Chain A
C-alpha cells in the first residue's frame, strides 16, 4: 500500500522553566496509507496533539521527520502543508466574521482565489450543510455548527490528507453523529486519507481502518482493529464481585475448575470498599457464566454482581498499561 504519511523517529522534548526536561513524544515511527482512516488513540496528555502538531508543521520536531506525500515537513514545509487539511480541536475561526468570510480567508491562504474559490466554498457549505447560514457571524452559531465550519475550512482545498484533532469534543450527540458521518463520507466519497485523534475508544473502533495506541509519547500498539483485538486476547472476561468477608483463596481454584474457563485471578484494587473482584477468563464468556455461578453457589459464596467484558481497545489499553483509557 502507498504511504501518504511517513513518520520516522519523531521526537519532541521540552525544557520546563525549572530546567527539567519533558519527553512529550519519544521517537515515533509510523506509516499512514492513502485512503485510510487512521486513528491515534490515547488518554489525555499521551502525546497525540504534539505528534499531530509536528506532522502538520505547527511545531518543529526535536528529532526525526515526517514526510507528507513525499515532502519533508521540516525541509519542504510549504509543499507538505499544501497537502494537509487541518481541523484542530479548538474551533479555530474568526467569530466576528461570517462562515463564508472565514472560508474565503483560509481558502486564500491555500492559494485559492476568484471563481474557483467561490465554487469550493459553495461545495463545502453543502458538505457541512450550512448554506442557509453562510452569511451569519460564526459567533452566533451553536457549538455543533461551529465544529462543522471548522471541518469545512480543512476541506476547502481538497487536501490529500485531512487531520482531525478530537473534532467531537464538547458537542451534543446529534452533532457528534453528523461529524462522524462526515468523516466516513470523506473517505468513502472523496477518497481522502483521514488522520483522526481521539481518546474515545468507540469513535476509533467505528471509524478506523487502523489504529495506533499512544501512551507517554510512544506508540504501544498499532494495527487494524482485528489485529489489535487479537493482541487484546480472544477471551471474554467475567468480572465477579464478592463481599470481602466471603472471599477466600480457594475461590480461584473453584473458578478455574469450571468447564470453559481457562484461568481466574483476583483483580488488583487500590480501594477497600468491602468488595473483591475475580476476573474469570473464558473463550465464550456468556456460555460459561451459568457454570461459574453454579460453582460459586456450591462453594457457598454469594456473587453480588457479574460484568461481562468482551475484548475491545479499552481492554487492550488496560492490558498494555494497567490503566483505563479514560483515566
Chain B
C-alpha cells in the first residue's frame, strides 16, 4: 500500500508541472504526424479498390436499349452503371432522386468529376437497329481519367452484343416469314435466346483491379504512432533517474527511508510511478494516432489486448532500466544528458523512426538493432498491426523485453542506495 502512495505522489509531482503536457502531448503529436508523413503511403495502410460511376441516359426505352444497358451492367467490376447498379450506400451519389438521370444531369455530374463518363441512348435506337440503319449512342468522358478505356471497352462490348441480338432477330424474322407464316412468337423466342447467349459471349476482357497488397511492415502512422510513442515513453520514464537524484539532493528520499517504509516499498513505488507515466504516454500517443487515423483511414490492428501487452512489457523494461541508471549517475545534469543520449541512440537503431524491414536498411543494422529495446517493442507492434498475428505475435518480443527488464531490476535493487 505504501508503494502505491509513493507512486501516486510521484505521479502527482510529475503533473504538478504543467509543462509536462508539452512533452507528453504537443511534441509527440506533431512528431507522430511528421514522421508518419515521411514514412509514406498517405499516412496509412492499404485502401479499397476504386470504383468509377458511369451514367446511362436511356431516351429510347425500347427492348433493345434495355438489352444494351443490361449488357453493360456487371461487365467490369471497377465500373458502376448508374442508376441501374446504384446501391443502398448510394454509390452513384444520386441523392434523393435515384430513378432516372437526364442528359443535363449526366453532363453536370461529369463536369464535377463525380462520374467517369456518361452514355446517351438516343430515341429510336431500337427501331434503327431493326431497320438496319445507323443507331446512335453518345459517349462522353473526362479526358484526364485514366480509367476511361475501361468504360470505352465496356460500351464497345455492349454494342457488339446488341448487334448480335439484332442479327439473330433479323434472321429469325426471315425464317418466320419464309417458312412459319410470319410466326412472331418464334421471332420473340429467338431474340430472347440470342440475348441470353450474348450475355455470355463473345469473349470479353474482364478488368480486375488487384487489391493493394498489405505490406508486412509498418508504414505511415502505423509506424510513427508506436515508434515515436515508444520514444517518448522512454523519454518520460528515464526522466525518473533525474527525479531520483533530485530526491536525494532534496533529502526527501532519505526522509522516506527514515520512515517505517521498506526498501522494497520505495523501489516498487518508484517503479510503479515510472511505469504508470509510460502507460499514460502510450495512451496519449495512441489517442493522437486514432484521432489522425479516423480522418486518414488508418487502423492499428484489431487486437488492442495484444498491443497493451507489448506496451506493458516495454514500459516495465524501461522503468527498471531507469532505476538502474539512477544508481550510476551522481547529478541531475548527468542523468538528463544520459536520458537524451540513450533514447536518441536506441530509438533509430531499434526502428522507432523508420521500419527496419525497409529494403535499404543494411543487414548489420538489423543485427545491431537487437541490443535496443525499441527493436522488440516495434516487432511486437508490427506483428499485431501489419501481420495480424494477435497475442501470439507479441509473446516473443514481450518476453525479451521482460527479460531485459528483469536483469536491470536485479542490478538496480543490488546497487540502490538511499544515501550515496
User: Is B419 an interface residue when CB atoms closer than 8 A count as contact?
Assistant: yes
- A199 and B9 CA atoms in complex are apart in Å by 35
Interface of chain A residues 60 through 76 with chain B (CB within 8 A): none
Which of these binds chain B: A107-115, A124-132, A257-265?
A107-115
Q: Which residue of A lies closest to B419 (CB)?
A: A59
CB-CB under 8 A from A82, the residues of chain B are: 260
User: Is A93 an interface residue when CB atoms closer than 8 A count as contact?
Assistant: yes
- A97 and B250 CA atoms in complex are apart in Å by 13
CB distance A78 to B255 under 8 Å? no
Q: Give the distance to chain B from A210, nearest Cβ to Cβ, in Å.
A: 23
Q: Give the distance to chain B from A148, nearest Cβ to Cβ, in Å.
A: 16
Q: Which residue of A lies closest to B255 (CB)?
A: A92
- A39 and B2 CA atoms in complex are apart in Å by 33
CB distance A81 to B2 under 8 Å? no
Which listed residue, A58, A78, A101, A105, touches B254 by the CB 8 Å rule? A58
- Interface readout for B232-264 with A: 1 if CB under 8 Å, 0 if not? 000000000000000000111011111111100
- A77 and B12 CA atoms in complex are apart in Å by 29
CB-CB under 8 A from A88, the residues of chain B are: 251, 254-255, 258
Q: Which residue of A lies closest to B266 (CB)?
A: A109
Q: Give the distance to chain B from A47, nearest Cβ to Cβ, in Å.
A: 15
Interface bin, chain B: 20 to 34
User: Is B5 an interface residue when CB atoms closer than 8 A count as contact?
Assistant: yes
Q: Which residue of B lies closest to A137 (CB)?
A: B16
User: Is A94 an interface residue when CB atoms closer than 8 A count as contact?
Assistant: yes
Main secondary structure of the interface of B (DSSP, over half): helix
- A101 and B12 CA atoms in complex are apart in Å by 10
User: Is B418 an interface residue when CB atoms closer than 8 A count as contact?
Assistant: yes
Interface of chain B residues 2 through 23 with chain A (CB within 8 A): 2, 5-6, 9, 12-13, 16-17
CB-CB under 8 A from A97, the residues of chain B are: 9, 12-13, 16
CB-CB under 8 A from A96, the residues of chain B are: 13, 16-17
Decide yes or no: A78 and B16 within 8 Å by CB, A86-B255, A108-B5 being known contacts: no
CB distance A94 to B255 under 8 Å? no
User: Is A140 an interface residue when CB atoms closer than 8 A count as contact?
Assistant: no
- Interface readout for B254-292 with A: 1 if CB under 8 Å, 0 if not? 111111111000000000000000000000000000000
User: Is A95 an interface residue when CB atoms closer than 8 A count as contact?
Assistant: yes
CB distance A58 to B260 under 8 Å? no
CB-CB under 8 A from B17, the residues of chain A are: 96
- A90 and B254 CA atoms in complex are apart in Å by 10
Q: Give the distance to chain B from A20, nearest Cβ to Cβ, in Å.
A: 19
Q: Give the distance to chain B from A253, nearest Cβ to Cβ, in Å.
A: 57
Count, chain A residues at interface, CB 8 A: 30
User: Is A84 an interface residue when CB atoms closer than 8 A count as contact?
Assistant: yes
CB-CB under 8 A from A153, the residues of chain B are: 255
Q: Give the distance to chain A from B9, nearest Cβ to Cβ, in Å.
A: 5
- A118 and B16 CA atoms in complex are apart in Å by 22
Q: Give the distance to chain A from B389, nearest Cβ to Cβ, in Å.
A: 44
CB distance B252 to A86 under 8 Å? no
CB-CB under 8 A from A109, the residues of chain B are: 2, 5-6, 256, 259-261
Q: Which residue of B lies closest to A77 (CB)?
A: B260
CB-CB under 8 A from B254, the residues of chain A are: 58, 88, 92
Which listed residue, B252, B260, B418, touches A81 by the CB 8 Å rule? B260
Which listed residue, B6, B13, B250, touches A90 by the CB 8 Å rule? B250
CB-CB under 8 A from A95, the residues of chain B are: 250
Q: Give the distance to chain A from B21, nearest Cβ to Cβ, in Å.
A: 15
User: Is A233 an interface residue when CB atoms closer than 8 A count as contact?
Assistant: no
Q: Give the distance to chain A from B239, nearest Cβ to Cβ, in Å.
A: 14
CB distance B262 to A81 under 8 Å? no
CB-CB under 8 A from B251, the residues of chain A are: 88, 90-92
CB distance A93 to B5 under 8 Å? no
- A280 and B193 CA atoms in complex are apart in Å by 145
- A58 and B417 CA atoms in complex are apart in Å by 10
CB-CB under 8 A from B250, the residues of chain A are: 90-95
CB-CB under 8 A from B9, the residues of chain A are: 94, 97, 105
CB distance B259 to A110 under 8 Å? yes
- A218 and B31 CA atoms in complex are apart in Å by 61
- A111 and B5 CA atoms in complex are apart in Å by 11
- A91 and B418 CA atoms in complex are apart in Å by 16
Q: Which residue of B lies closest to A87 (CB)?
A: B255
User: Is A79 an interface residue when CB atoms closer than 8 A count as contact?
Assistant: yes
Q: Which residue of B lies closest to A81 (CB)?
A: B260
CB-CB under 8 A from B2, the residues of chain A are: 108-109
CB distance A79 to B260 under 8 Å? yes
- A56 and B255 CA atoms in complex are apart in Å by 10
CB distance A81 to B258 under 8 Å? yes
CB-CB under 8 A from A79, the residues of chain B are: 260
Decide yes or no: A58 and B257 within 8 Å by CB, A96-B13, A108-B2 being known contacts: yes
User: Is A33 an interface residue when CB atoms closer than 8 A count as contact?
Assistant: no
CB distance A92 to B252 under 8 Å? yes
CB distance A106 to B255 under 8 Å? yes
- A108 and B9 CA atoms in complex are apart in Å by 11
- A153 and B418 CA atoms in complex are apart in Å by 19
- A96 and B5 CA atoms in complex are apart in Å by 17
CB-CB under 8 A from A93, the residues of chain B are: 250, 252
Interface of chain A residues 197 through 212 with chain B (CB within 8 A): none
User: Is A53 an interface residue when CB atoms closer than 8 A count as contact?
Assistant: yes
Q: What 7 A-B pairs are tightest by C-beta distance, nearest first? A: A92-B251, A90-B251, A92-B255, A109-B259, A86-B258, A78-B260, A82-B260
Pairs A–B under 8 Å by Cβ, sample size 22? A53-B419, A57-B258, A58-B257, A78-B262, A79-B260, A81-B258, A81-B260, A82-B260, A86-B255, A86-B259, A88-B251, A91-B250, A92-B255, A94-B13, A97-B16, A105-B5, A105-B9, A106-B259, A109-B5, A111-B260, A137-B16, A153-B255
Sample of 12 further A-B pairs with CB below 8 A, known A58-B254, A88-B254, A109-B256:
A58-B258, A78-B260, A78-B262, A81-B258, A88-B251, A90-B250, A91-B251, A92-B255, A94-B250, A97-B13, A97-B16, A108-B5
